[in-house]
Amino acid sequence: MNSPSERNPPPAGTPVGGGIMRRLQAFTEGDPDQLLSLDTLLTGLRRSAFGMFLFVSILPGFVPIPGVGGAVGGPLVILIGLQLLMGLARPWLPRFIGRRGPRRRTLVRFGDRIAPWLARLEHLVRPRLPLLVGNRLANAFTGLLLVVLGILLALPLPMTNYLFAGVLLFYALALIERDGALLLVLWVATLGGLLAMGLLSESLAELLAQAWQRLWPA
């Protein structure tokens, strides 16, 4: 059964503050120590399910401990990217992943932390250029970039957790709000950033090659 928010979707042009924040506020009431599983968080979501899955997956990336947040969030981001590459209509979660998720207090604390930023974005992020968020080829390209960003997030690179998690947060907002214009900006920014990193660091390319071999051995 669909959730009330899915049975009565917001009108086109609803700002981001009325989208993701409303979804977060729906989970604020209850035991702060309760575990909110990914299965629970994604129940009833349809087109925005990948965005919400990505949003929850990057929460560990904001943990200020090098390597810890990325080691948890990175593989989840890679999983999301691969599923978009495969053209899945909604996320598939292995049972051992679907049963896991953040504590309610963690989700509330993170929502409170980003609320001021979302308030500033409320007039900028909205449904636009639907072809870029509903097209299979566009979704596959987004998935490819998410795989690369997930690998970078998972690598134990110093002072990068917040950077990659912040970029992925914007990807999550674009997918949740169906904002193709924001997604286009993120594509360009991601490709430009990856090109700059590749030119500035040969050692990074070696780390990526080693990580790729560990994840997908020949």
Each domain of the chain, given as residue ranges in start order, spans 4-215
10: pLDDT confidence band, cut at 50, 70 and 90?
A: very low
Instruction: Please give the structure tokens belonging to residue 184.
Output: 């286009």
Contact criterion met (CB below 8 Å) for 69 and 61: yes
CB atoms within 10 A of CB 55: 24
Neighbour tally for 204: CB within 10 Å = 15
- 87, 94, 124 from 31: Cα distances, Å: 37, 26, 34
Where residue 87 falls (left for φ over 0; alpha for ψ -120 to 50; beta otherwise) is left
- The answer, as to whether pTM is greater than 0.85, is no
**Range name among 74-78, 93-97, 166-170 with the lowest pLDDT average:** 93-97
Which of 12-16, 49-53, 175-179, 182-186 is least confident?
A: 12-16
